Amino acid sequence: MQDFEQFIGSFSFDSRLAEVDINSSVAHTKMLVKAKIIDISDGEKIISGLTNILKDIKGNWELPKEEDVHYAIEKELIKRIGSVGGKMHTARSRNDQVATDLRIYLKQEIKIIVNLISDFQKVLVVKADENIDVIMPGFTHLQPAQPVSAAHHLLAYAWMVQRDKERLNDCYRRTDILPLGSAALAGTSFNIDRQYTAQLLGFKSISENSLDAVSDRDFAVEFVFCMSLTVLHLTRFCEEIILWMNPEFGYITIDDKFTSGSSIMPQKRNPDSAEVIRGKSGRIIGDLIALFTIIKSLPLAYNRDLQEDKPPVFDSLDNLKLCLEVMKEMVKSLEFVEKRVLKSTEKGFIAATEIADYLARNNVPFRLAHCIVRDIVLYCKKKSKTLNELSLEEYNKFSKIFKKDIFEYLDAKSVANIKTSYGGTSRRSVLHQIKNIKNKLELETK
C-alpha cells in the first residue's frame, strides 16, 4: 500500500466542508472563551487565524492535504499562530465536529435545493398558463384514456415536486439539531455551554444523547432519500418527454441544445438531456443504498465507516442540482405541437367514458351504461369508425336515450372542459389550480 494515510483519510472528498468547519470552530472557540475554558486572548488568536485561513480558501489558496479537512485546518492554524491553535480542540472531538459540519452543510444545501425546485415549478406554471387550451389524450396503462388539458398534465409535476420541498423542509427540522459538545462519544467534563454554540451556529436545538449524536446519520439518509425521490419524479417527466418527442407521438419539441445527433444517422435528434436525467436516477438511488449499507449493523458510537457517508451525500446533491437546472431549462423550451396533440385525441375512443356518463345522467345505472358503450366501441372498431362518425340512428341502435346533444359530448375539448370537479381538468378547475399553486409559491418567498 503506497499511501495508507490517504486510504483511511477523507481529504479528497471532504475538503468542501472547509468553510463550515471553520465556522463551527469559530463558534466553538467563542463558547470556550465564554465558558472561561480558554483565555480571551487565546480565543482571539484562534479566531483571527481561522478567519485568515477562510479568507485564503475563498481566494483560491489550497489547503495543504491532510488525513481530513478537520486535521488540515487545525494543522494550518497551528502553523500560522503557533501551539495556541491546539487549544481550539478542547472539549471537542472530530466525531462531534464532523457530524456538526455535515449538518450545517446540508442545512445550507436544503435551502438551495428547495429554491431550485421552486424555480422549476415556476417554469411549469408559466407553461401551464400558456397551454390550458391544449387538449391531449390522458393515459392510463399508457393507453388512451380521457382527454386532459396539457396544463393539467404539467401541473401534476408542479404538485409532485411541491411534496418534495415539503419533505426536504421536514428533513431540515431533523438536521437542525447540534451534536457539537458530545465530544468523542461520552460528552465532556469541561463546563461547556452547548446552547450558546447552537445559538451562534443557528441550530434550533441540541442533541440529547452524546452516543446517538456522534453516530446518527439519519438526517443524511433522509436527505439522500429526498434527493432520490425528487429525481424519480423528474425521470417520470423525462420518460414522457422522450415518448412525446418520438415521431409516433410528435406531441412536443424542445430546444435543440437539449438534444444531440447521431454519429452515423444524419436524421437523428435524440432527447439526450432527458435520458441523462433518467440515467442519473440510477446513481442517486445508488447513493441512497450505499448510505443505508454503510449504516447497517454499525455498533455505537462513531466508527470510521461513517466517513464513507460523504461521497454519496455529495454525489446525490450535486447531481440532483444539475438535473433540476437542466430540467427547468428544458421545460422552458418545451412547445406543444397543438394540432398533432389534438389529432391524437381522435384515436382510442377517449370520449367513451363521457358517453357512459351521459347515459348515467339519464338514469341508466352506470354499470349498464358501461356495457352499452363497450358495445358501441366494438361496433366502431368493426366499422372502422370513430365515435364522432356514428349517426344518431346508429347510437339509438344501442340505446334510445341518446339524443342529438350526444354529439356535444364527443369532442375532446368539451369532454375535458366539463370535468369541472375540484382538481379536475376543466379550464375552470385548471385556472383555479394555477391560482392555488401561484399563491403557494408566493407565500413561500415571503
* Region of 91-99, 141-149, 188-196, 416-424 interacting with ligand ARG (CB under 6 A): 91-99
Toward ligand ARG, which CB reaches closer, 183 or 241?
183
| Element spanning 143, H or E | strand 143-149
3-class secondary-structure state, position 32? helix
What size, in residues, is the chain? 446
Residue of 146, 307, 316, 319 that binds ligand ARG (CB under 6 A): 307
Binders in 12-31 for ligand ARG, by CB under 6 A:
14
Toward ligand ARG, which CB reaches closer, 11 or 402?
11
Residue of 28, 92, 94, 233 that binds ligand ARG (CB under 6 A): 94
- Nearest Cα neighbor of 146 from 135, 156, 134, 155 is 135
3-class secondary-structure state, position 147? strand
Rounded to whole angstroms, how far apart are CA atoms 145 and 152?
Answer: 15
- Nearest Cα neighbor of 116 from 309, 295, 328 is 328
Q: Which residues contact 391 (CB under 8 A, 6 or more apart)?
A: none
Residue of 36, 141, 296, 304 that binds ligand ARG (CB under 6 A): 304
Toward ligand ARG, which CB reaches closer, 9 or 147?
9
Phi, psi of 2 (to 5 degrees): -75, -45
127 scored as a contact of ligand ARG (CB under 6 A): no
- Is 262 among the catalytic positions? yes
Secondary structure string (H, E, C) spanning 163-176: HHHHHHHHHHHHHC
Toward ligand ARG, which CB reaches closer, 227 or 306?
306
Cβ 304 to ligand ARG shortest distance, Å: 6
Toward ligand ARG, which CB reaches closer, 14 or 222?
14
121 scored as a contact of ligand ARG (CB under 6 A): no
- DSSP for 311-378, please give it: HHHHHHHHHHHHHHHHHHHHHHT-EE-HHHHHHHTTGGGTTHHHHHHHHHHTT--HHHHHHHHHHHHH
Category of 60 on φ-ψ map: left (φ > 0), alpha (ψ -120 to 50) or beta? left
What one-character DSSP code corresponds to residue 146? E
* Region of 54-62, 94-102, 110-118, 225-233 interacting with ligand ARG (CB under 6 A): 94-102
Rounded to whole angstroms, how far apart are CA atoms 164 and 325?
Answer: 16
- In the set 83, 141, 189, 384, the catalytic residue is 141
302 scored as a contact of ligand ARG (CB under 6 A): yes
- In the set 12, 41, 48, 262, the catalytic residue is 262
Torsion angle, CA of 392/397/402/406, rounded to 10 degrees? -40
Q: Which residues contact 410 (CB under 8 A, 6 or more apart)?
A: 351, 354, 355, 387, 388
Residue of 10, 24, 273, 319 that binds ligand ARG (CB under 6 A): 10
Toward ligand ARG, which CB reaches closer, 304 or 404?
304
Rounded to whole angstroms, how far apart are CA atoms 383 and 390?
Answer: 10
96 scored as a contact of ligand ARG (CB under 6 A): no
* Region of 233-241, 299-307, 377-385, 430-438 interacting with ligand ARG (CB under 6 A): 299-307
* Region of 32-40, 284-292, 302-310, 356-364 interacting with ligand ARG (CB under 6 A): 302-310
Cβ 197 to ligand ARG shortest distance, Å: 18
* Region of 90-98, 315-323, 372-380, 437-445 interacting with ligand ARG (CB under 6 A): 90-98
Query: Which residues participate in catalysis according to the annotation?
Result: 141, 262
Residues forming the site for ligand ARG (CB under 6 A)? 10, 14, 68, 94-95, 98, 302, 304, 306-307
